[in-house]
Copies of this chain bind each other. A is one copy, B any other.
């Protein structure tokens, strides 16, 4: 039902609507990523064929390869797009926190909220083992650094104030989000009930794990 039209008329060949360069609506490129997520989630990246994506996105092979270098390229771009959205959402949420405990809890709550809102995306972020290209790898590092820096900016004051304990730098994230991450992973695999049930419990545990000596 996708592209039975011959290349004669002017129906749907070439660009459709491009006048708008606003944040949302590059359309084709986005369609492809969306379709890819669906395919990858249901079939797995390995078993998903270019044809599957192309068919679901309603585009041609050429179009797909114009926007992305390869199948791995699609997988990579999708991962980077999702992680960027996830990071931004989390940071925005953390910034609203008034004290250390609120900040810690916002991480747990944010993680659950984003996962519940887009389970396929979180499953993809979790499960996917991507062979990053040099460029993709650089972009990934860039995003990671930006996120780390943001988190650091938010939490450092609380550590200085003694609200949070002084721990090895790399210990904070696992201590705070490790449990909920682990739980959500199981939930997404169908092995546990909704994370809403344990959200408060895990937030409290996270706070206990990193709170300062006086609290």
Residues 116-153 of chain A, each 1 if its beta carbon lies under 8 Å from chain B, else 0 = 00000000000111110000000000001000000000
Interface size class of A (residues with CB under 8 A): 35 or more
- Of listed A43, A179, A191, residue having the most chain B CB within 10 A: A179
Q: Provide a sorted-by-A list of 19 A–B residue pairs whose CB atoms are within 8 angstroms.
A: A45-B46, A46-B131, A127-B129, A128-B129, A167-B201, A168-B197, A168-B198, A170-B183, A170-B193, A171-B198, A173-B186, A174-B179, A174-B183, A175-B179, A175-B202, A178-B181, A179-B209, A205-B208, A208-B208
Interface string of A154-184 (1 = CB under 8 A from B): 0000000000000110110111011111110
CB distance from A36 to the nearest CB of B (A): 13
Whether A168 and B201, one on each chain, are in contact in the complex, defined by CB atoms closer than 8 angstroms, is: yes
Q: A43-B131, A178-B183 are in contact. List 12 more A-B contacts (CB 8 A).
A: A45-B129, A46-B72, A144-B191, A168-B197, A168-B198, A171-B202, A174-B182, A178-B178, A178-B179, A179-B179, A181-B182, A205-B208
Secondary structure of the A side of the interface?
A: helix
Contact among B44, B130, B180, B193 for A178, CB-based, below 8 A: B180
Q: Which residues of A contact B (CB under 8 A)?
A: 43-47, 71-72, 75, 127-131, 144, 167-168, 170-171, 173-175, 177-183, 186, 191-193, 197-198, 201-202, 205, 208-209
Distance, CA A43 to CA B167, complexed state (A): 35
Q: In the bound complex, what is the Cα–Cα distance between A43 and B72 (angstroms)?
A: 12
Q: Which of B44, B127, B131 contacts A47 (CB 8 A)?
A: B131
Residues of B within 8 A of A72 (CB): 46-47
Shortest A38–chain B CB gap in Å is 15
Contacts of A127 in B (CB 8 A): 128-129
Can you name the residue of chain B whose Cβ is closest to the Cβ of A208? B208
The docked-state distance in angstroms from the alpha carbon of A43 to that of B129 is: 10
Tell me the complex Cα distance, A191–B174, Å: 12
